[in-house]
Copies of this chain bind each other. A is one copy, B any other.
Amino acid sequence: MLIDVNLISPLSRSSPITDSSPYEVRRAQELNNLLGPKGSTDAIDLICDLHNTTANMGLTLIHYTTSDWVTLARTSQVCFNKHHTGNQGQAFSTAIEVGPQPHGVVRADIYIIMKEAVDLTIDWIHKFNSGTVRPNQTWLIFVCRNVDYPRDPETRTLTSAIHPQLQDRDFCLLMRGDPLFFTFSRETVKPLYDCLWWMSYHIL
């Protein structure tokens, strides 16, 4: 059973804990008390937040702000994919997202990639603290828009899946006329935009 809980947002929302609160919400607040509070001057300098995803993103860093030069410099140093989700007000907080991996499954290849990302991050922190990191480098960033699935107008349930020709092809360029969705009645739905970079960050 998969539940729709954003495991990051409770840190900034401070939702009340009850007996039925999911483990992840409880744990997020424990970590916020231990390492934060998030956004305060007492918070620690850098959090390395590890995620896995069902999307075929490879090894990806997710940034929350373009004014955070520490995570930007770290990204250019270790050559991950880059994904900007918009400014959420944190300083020096970056998520490492690795996929594809089903929820509840451990894959050795994903484990090895994630371990390498953590090792590279720790190496980078040592270099940064010793003054050997140059913060200004040129690099590319993907700024994405959210595109919802086609839904039944009354029930709001999904009426399609990702088109088979697009499935698992994260970071490809999607043009007007390319297949985007595949309805359960076997019709192809095309994008309404001139072009967009395709990335299936959160598949519902």
Contact of A109 among B101, B107, B164 (CB under 8 A): B164
- When chains A and B are docked, how far (Å) is the Cα of A109 from the Cα of B166? 11
Given contacts A102-B54, A102-B103, A103-B103, contact A161 B108 (CB under 8 A): yes
Please pick, from B1, B101, B182, B184, the residue contacting A3 in the complex, using a CB distance under 8 A. B1
- Tell whether A167 pairs with B108 under 8 Å between CB atoms, given A1-B3, A102-B54: yes
Residue-wise, chain A 103-121 has the 8 Å CB interface mask toward B (1 for contact) of 1111111011000000000
How many A residues, CB 8 Å from partner? Answer: 31
The residue from B3, B22, B54, B182 contacting A105, defined by CB atoms under 8 A apart: B54
Are A2 and B108 within 8 A (Cβ)? no
Is A158 an interface residue when CB atoms closer than 8 A count as contact? yes
Smallest CB gap from A186: residue in B: B112
Within the complex, what minimum Cβ distance (angstroms) separates A147 from chain B?
Answer: 16
Please tell me if A203 contacts chain B, counting CB pairs below 8 Å.
Answer: yes
Residues of B within 8 A of A24 (CB): 1
A163 is an interface residue with CB less than 8 A from chain B: yes
Residues of B near A164 (CB, < 8 A) are 107-109, 112
Q: Is the CB of A193 closer than 8 A to any CB of chain B?
A: no
Q: Is A140 an interface residue (CB 8 A)?
A: no
Contacts of A161 in B (CB 8 A): 106-108, 111
A160 — which chain B residues lie within 8 A by C-beta?
A: 108
Q: Does A23 contact B (CB under 8 A)?
A: yes
Within residues 74 to 105 of chain A, which ones have a CB less than 8 A from any CB in chain B?
A: 100-105
